[in-house]
Structure formats: structure tokens, C-alpha cells
Amino acid sequence: MNDRMSYANRAYRIFAHTYLRKQLQDKQACLQFALPCMIACWICALPWLLQPDSTALASTAAHASVHADCRAIAIWPVENPTITQEFIAPAQQWSSGHRGIDMQTQTGQTLVSPVDGVVSFQGKVAQKSVVSVQHGAMTFTFEPAVTWLAAGERLTQGQPFATVENMSDHCEDSCLHWGLKRGSDYLDPASRVAKTRIVLKAQ
């Protein structure tokens, strides 16, 4: 009886060992087959995964368009402007530069408001006639210019609001100096105008 039990135990251990080894071999064979398949699938899917999302691209393009529209808020204060001096940003607030652009004009020429805004100042600054128009945080300045409007009066874009006065110290002939400030920073007013054809006067 004991011999039969011993034989049965030994036979069971041999069977269990053989069965487990067979299971392990089958799993190893499966992994050896599956791993290359998984790598191949990833390689095939990689171009699709790296392809930019069309929705994200559309959103980016729309954002860029809105940003451009926000910058292009103004129109030229004179028709078909001829630029005699472009904007040169000062390195520091106290440094030299050209804090605006000069446009060739005629004495008495009518100016139109480049933006919807408010006449924030009209009067003399350093013996020069100046008119300022505020649009939000930005202030557009015009010199030499005089207006028939009082400070505080509202303007709509394209509305005549001032005329060019006499000679300017910015040029030899009659011209308009157009400036733009946001806070204490001087900006190029031309950068706020939608792209259009302008003429640069030969120096």
C-alpha cells in the first residue's frame, strides 16, 4: 500500500512538473510572437499619432486671426499717406528716437479719426498745437493740429475732427506728426493700421 502511494505521489509530481513547464513554454512562445506584432502596430500608428490635430490647428489659426484683427484697429488719419519719417523706438524712455511717424500734408488739410474714441486733449504743448484722441488704454496724438471739438467729445472712426496747422518742426514742409502711447510706452501707430499701400518719401 505504501509503495502504491509513493508511486502515485511521484507520478503526480512528474505530471505537474511537465504540465507547468509546458504552460511556461507556451507563454514564452506567445510573447515571442506578440511582442514583434505590438512593435509593428506602434510603428504603423506613429505617423497618425504625431499628425497635428485639425481642431487644434483651426483654433490656432483663429487665434492668430483674432490677434491680427486686434492689432489692426486704426485707419490712416489722411488719405493715401506719404511717410516722410518712420517710427524709431527709443531704447529707453529718455533715449533718442522718433516717437511717431511723419506724413506729408498741407496746411489746413482735414484729419479723420483713426479710431472710435474721445478727444482727450486739445491745446498747446511746447508752443505747438496738439490734439489727442484716446481709445481704451491707447492715446493717439497729432501735431501740429487744431480741432473745433472740445475735450471729452466722442469720435467715431473716420470722422473729421481736426486740421493740420502751419509748419512743423518735424519736417521742412507742412507735415503731420502722428504718435501713439500706451501708458508710458511709445508705439508705432502704423502697426495698428490694417495693411495698405503707403508711400515712403525718398530721403
List beta partners, residue 111. 162
15 pLDDT more than 60:
no
pLDDT over 90 (residue 22): no
* pLDDT value at 10 more than 90: no
Of 104, 101, 114, nearest to 160 (Cα)?
Answer: 114
CA atoms of 87 and 139, how far apart (whole Å): 16
Dihedral sign, CA of 9, 15, 20, 25?
A: positive
Least confident segment among 1-5, 96-100, 188-192, 194-198: 1-5
pLDDT at 13 over 90: no
C-alpha dihedral, 111 to 115 to 120 to 125, nearest 10°: -50
pLDDT band at 99, cuts 50/70/90? confident
Provide the residue ranges of all domains of the chain, joining segments of one domain with +.
2-51, 82-200
What is the average per-residue pLDDT within 53-69? Answer: 42
Classify burial at 112, counting beta carbons within 10 Å of its beta carbon; exposed 0-12, middle 13-18, buried 19 or more: middle
User: What is the structure's pLDDT at 31?
Assistant: 52
pLDDT at 18: 66
Mean pLDDT of 143-159: 97
Share of the chain above pLDDT 70, in %: 55
Please state, in angstroms and rounded to a whole number, the distance separating the CA atoms of residues 180 and 83.
16
Q: How far is CA 34 from the centre of its chain?
A: 49
- Say what the pTM is: 0.60
145 and 131 in contact (C-beta within 8 Å)? yes
| Non-local CB neighbours of 170 within 8 Å, separated by 6+ positions | 85, 102, 143, 177
pLDDT of residue 89: 83
Q: Which amino acid is at 49?
A: L
User: What CATH topology corresponds to 82-200?
Assistant: Glucose Permease (Domain IIA) (2.70.70)
> pLDDT of 102-133, one tens digit each?
999 999 999 999 999 999 999 999 889 999 99
- Name the least confident of 43-52, 62-71, 142-151: 62-71
Mean pLDDT of all residues belonging to the chain:
76
